[in-house]
Structure 1
């Protein structure tokens, strides 16, 4: 997530500079052929190009609106995880109680810590799963890879095994890492322990039902995240958007040749900068929509799930009154992961 006031124009130009290079070439070639070699037949009426541009603008607007919807839904889902996590911490502290006097305060504190740290492990496993690459995602595109020099994706800098080590017992960590969907099995372990706490008399049946419902709600939120992660913006719409934009930017110079030639003299050379400008606007809108398609992949415009997970971890550890609390993540070059 970009945490500054706005992107600067220079950042946008650097991000799209490779597109600008080929846009200059697309504009320069027909202009040179028209003016230097006298190929006047290259000029075509502006009306059909404008009609294609209208269709391109419509489909770009449709895509950007839809991809923004995906981004906003993802932010709402993870906001729900934040609220549920805080509620889970309260339930663990207040519902799991030594009502029969059979457990020492130290052991009860250990149970609280285990339930809360396992939840932090679930958050960790979930964000690692959401950062896994899919074939349709865009972080591997060269213009996005270059921009990654301004920030780092934490899940690409460390391993899940290392992150889980201080949160789980060795046996639990090995069990979870042996599974494909690690987050699912972490909640399963939570449910298993709740049942054991009922048998030990540390959790009443009514409170057990409430906490089990909380686990169900966490499963629901995870499923919603997985739905966005594993179902891309429909490829037919993404493809036709790209085809329309490229067709339009290829035709723009041919339509502007005649318009600037009417001004006489050397004004026809203005075809190059104005073609690049018009094409850059449309192409950049397409790029923005593309960068918003997948809100969990780790781009600079994605939902900052790493930072939000750290915020949850801080809240939960403070509920445990732990002396060492990790610090909140700060933006790097205005990018918050």
Structure 2
């Protein structure tokens, strides 16, 4: 998955522009209410500071949890890379005529290895499509600016149908088989294991080599289960909902409390200096906007990272990882450059 070059300050400002406008309007209205009520309508700053401290702690917890989910997902898919390379080496070296009852020709051996490698690529394909399937709790891409951001990145699973892609790697019989199964990636590993067993029974895989390859399939199933666990278990909604409410309560009362503080400063200036310094109260508007923007943006960054396979710019690049594995395996299989697919579309110089 690729996106354009990112300029953090500019892009962050554009990403949060609607919230920034909201913060400006709220700040002006509340500070104006404070000023035109002759300082009668105000809010003490101490409770607001206490609420802000609690919100900051919860935002920190959310950010750490979201980053933990992203990092775990990246480790799982990194493990898939290593395990896939191991499986590719075993396929090339363990499938041979050394113990065969009826030896195959070199061409037949190559086609057998190719079938096994392509079936593994089919498993990777099924995995990335399964991870991209939407869940009811995945809401980040429904936000307006996130929809805009999604136009800047390329997510292959949203542009290519699974049936068309999987047909490049499996026979029609295998496609019909996995079509009847809910978990298609598991079904593909069942097919892979069954094929290896049949090769072992015919002597094309030595028994101990067969056990080693089965252990690798077991490891692939472990990676699959870990990835599915992250996909199917959301960040606890009670924490997310409470943080959302607490944050907006804090943001709603902050400008009034900030106006009260600047009102006290204006009074002190009026007492000690000759002049009218009531205009100082309006400094509460920009200061409130900065604090509101920081708290809300940190909250939103945490929310974006909750689901690392949703298809946002902050996701784990599972499409690029899977395609990289495919290219590696098929090159070592000895396929021609024309037959091997290219890396996914690069829309600029930044990979996501």
Of 141-150 and 37-46, deviating more is 37-46
Partner of 2:166: 164
Equivalent residue of 1:329, what SS? coil
Q: Distance in 2 between matches of 1:319 and 1:333?
A: 28
SS at match of 2:309: coil
Q: Is the 8 A contact 2:154 2:345 kept in 1?
A: no
**TM-score, scaled to structure 2:** 0.91
Give the match for residue 148 of structure 1. 150
Is the deviation greater in 259-268 or in 324-333?
Answer: 324-333
Mean Cα deviation higher: 20-29 or 321-330: 321-330
Distance in 2 (CA, whole Å) between partners of 1:2 and 1:316 is: 22
Residue of structure 1 equivalent to 2:295: 282
Cα offsets for 1:272-304 (capped at 9, x unmatched): 221111100000000110011111111101110
Deviations 1:165-208 (A, max 9, x none): 11111111122123211100000000110111011110111111
CA distance in 1, matches of 2:40, 2:308: 46
Residue 210 (structure 1) aligned to one of 212, 234, 257: 212
Show the counterpart of 2:136.
135
Matched, 1:294 2:341: no
Q: Which residue of 2 aligns with 1:328?
A: 343
Segments of structure 1 that go 5 or more residues without pairing to the other structure are none
Corresponding residue number in structure 2 for 1:76: 75
Q: Do 1:56 and 1:244's aligned partners in 2 also have CA atoms closer than 8 Å?
A: yes
Distance 2:41 2:180 in 1: 63
Deviation sequence 1:45-68 (CA, Å, 0-9, x none): 111100000000111111101111
| Number of corresponding residues | 336
Residue 23 of structure 2: aligned partner: 23
Question: How far off its partner does 1:245 sit?
Answer: 1.1
Alignment of 1:1-337 (within 5 A): 7-35=7-35, 37-38=36-37, 40-99=39-98, 100=100, 102-137=103-138, 138-261=140-263, 262-263=265-266, 264-323=277-336, 324=338, 325-329=340-344, 331-333=346-348, 336-337=351-352
C-alpha distance after superposition, 1:122-156 (max 9, x if no partner): 00000000001111112222221121121122101
Q: How big is the alpha-carbon RMSD for the aligned residues of Structure 1 and Structure 2?
A: 1.7
From the CA coordinates, give the structure whose radius of gyration is larger: 2
> Cα–Cα, structure 1 residues 4 and 280, in superposed 2: closer, same or farther, change >3 Å?
same
CA offset at residue 327 of structure 1?
Answer: 2.4
Is the 2:189–2:217 contact (alpha carbons within 8 Å) kept by the matching residues of 1? yes
Distance 1:303 1:332 in 2: 18
1:121–1:167 contact (8 Å) kept in structure 2? yes
Deviates more, 1:233-242 or 1:182-191: 233-242
